[in-house]
Amino acid sequence: RYQGVETGIGNTHYSGQVSLTTTQSGSTYTLTDGARGGHKTYNLNQGTTGTGTLFSQSGDTWGDGTNSNAATAGADAAYGAQETWDFYKSTFGRNGIKNDGVGAYSRVHYGSNYVNAFWQDSCFCMTYGDGANNNDPLTSLDVAGHEMSHGVTAATAGLKYSKESGGLNEATSDILGTGVEFYANNSSDPGDYLIGEKIDINGNGTPLRYMDKPSKDGASADYWSRTVGSKDVHYSSGVANHFFYLLSEGSGAKTVNGVSYNSPTYNGSTVTGIGRDKALQIWYKALSEYFTSSTNYAAARTGTLSAAAALYGSGSTEYNAVAAAWTAVNVN
């Protein structure tokens, strides 16, 4: 009886046609990624508990790009898990969410009209709703990368999910989820500094969050203030998302992959970006080596400066840019 790692085809809803690593077992294929810790993708079929059923079928082409085919969201979720795994491995040498080579699992079609997605450390799994009218599953690349990055944060700094550390926890997921989207380099979902631009969560085509100017969502903070920690963590995250954008791309007007940004700064200071790749290295090193469960914004400045010093040298261009980007979001 043959069992092996196969290369299937995913016809996703958000990322076009992609290659998926699957498993063949006898005459059946399953969405089990034997090249990435055995990550499995399950169909909850509108349920809210357990794992439902593992996606299994007789052929190795998954979904048809439409939401009427249940395997389409499965293909998007499997692709998101695959790209997230590869992003961490190739960018940071991290071997899975816990750096132990063990895969997580994904569940799609959670509940009915459920407009959210979430990571749970208790099951080491992530779950996606189907969105409004069960027609916009939350399975886009940046959302997948965001949610699974909550697992990385839990396995590293353990940033407590409230007050300023909670905002840093959320921002870490936005920053690394955005890293996943750029890494995948998918022509149907190119990298940007927007979160959830594909899932139409507001019903009017606008993204969920904006890293270049977080306040564009109507609620997120562009700059630190002494009360920022009293906001919901998805809004206090704005300060660090804005820091990351400025460190990567710099202040002022900029177009990346056809999207135009115009990032403001506190008191009109200026920042020259060092590029996203270096900014990601600094954030990840700070997350995994310098941040703790109680890191607040002031400590995040110190931690990222330590990371930049270790990577590029104290007083390097990169080190000075980290300082300038924090100052530009009023973290001094």
Residues of the shown chain interacting with Zn ion in the complex, contacts defined by CB under 5 A? 173
Least distance in angstroms from the C-beta of 268 to ligand ASN: 32
CA distance 319 to 151: 28
Interaction of residue 249 with Ca ion, rule CB under 5 A? no
| End-to-end CA gap in the chain | 63
| Phi and psi based region of residue 134 (left: phi greater than 0; alpha: psi -120 to 50; beta: remaining) | left
Interaction of residue 147 with ligand ASN, rule CB under 6 A? yes
Active site residue 249: no
Nearest of 140, 153, 92 to residue 280 by alpha carbon: 92
Active site residue 234: yes
Least distance in angstroms from the C-beta of 268 to Ca ion: 28
Q: Among ligand ASN, Zn ion, Ca ion, none, what does residue 136 contact (CB within 5–8 Å per kind)?
A: none
The full DSSP string for 269-304 is: -------HHHHHHHHHHIIIII--TT--HHHHHHHH
Query: What amino acid occupies position 151?
Result: G
Toward Ca ion, which CB reaches closer, 130 or 142?
142
Copy the structure tokens of residue 126. 């992530």
For the CA atoms of 311, 317, 322, 324, what is the dihedral angle to 10 degrees? 170
Interaction of residue 117 with ligand ASN, rule CB under 6 A? yes
Query: What amino acid occupies position 136?
Result: D
Q: Which residue is nearest to ligand ASN (CB)?
A: 118
Least distance in angstroms from the C-beta of 60 to Zn ion: 32
Q: Which residue is nearest to Zn ion (CB)?
A: 173
Interaction of residue 76 with Ca ion, rule CB under 5 A? no
Interaction of residue 115 with ligand ASN, rule CB under 6 A? no
Options 234, 242, 249, 318, the catalytic residue: 234
Active site (catalytic) residues = 147, 234
| Positions in the binding site for ligand ASN (CB under 6 A) | 116-118, 146-147, 150, 170, 234
